[in-house]
Amino acid sequence: MDSVKGGSKVEEKEELKAVVLADSFDELFQPLSLNKPRCLLPLCNVPMLEYTLEFLALSGVVEAIIVCKAHADKLVAYIKQSQWARGHSQMKVVVRVVRQATTIGDAL
């Protein structure tokens, strides 16, 4: 977006932010998801969430907000030890826990 200020052009860059739903509020993946959130289940030995976060970072997203309910403690622990928690990460990752949500609509 360009704006003219005092005769000179000033470019304002909008920051991209993303919301990642890391919970589906159903039990379709049980028994696999009894002890681990579905987003941390491996796909080719890499947690599925990593593919999403990597795609967002490469797309220019500066902040990703992960929304979850089930196994939130495990998701928070995973993010804290991941590359996304380090200072040199190109994208800030925040986990929001919605304890009272029962549907995706509640979470949003």
Domain extent listing, the chain: 15-107
pTM over 0.85: no
Query: Per-residue pLDDT averaged across 37-50, rounded?
Result: 90
Q: For residue 93, name the pLDDT band (cuts at 50, 70, 90).
A: very high
Question: Collapsing DSSP states into helix, strand and coil, what is residue 106?
Answer: helix
User: Measured between alpha carbons, how far is residue 37 from residues 7, 17, 54, 87, 88 in Å?
Assistant: 54, 23, 19, 25, 26
Q: Between 42 and 10, where is the model more confident?
A: 42
Classify domain 15-107 at the CATH topology level.
Answer: Spore Coat Polysaccharide Biosynthesis Protein SpsA; Chain A (3.90.550)
Q: How confident is the model at residue 106 (pLDDT cuts 50, 70, 90)?
A: low
Q: Can you give the pLDDT at residue 22?
A: 84
Q: What is the mean pLDDT of residues 69-89?
A: 86
Residue 58's pLDDT band (boundaries 50, 70, 90)? very high
Q: What is the mean pLDDT of residues 23-33?
A: 67
What number is the average pLDDT over the span 91-96?
90
Give me the helices (H) in 1-108, please: 48-58, 72-81, 104-107
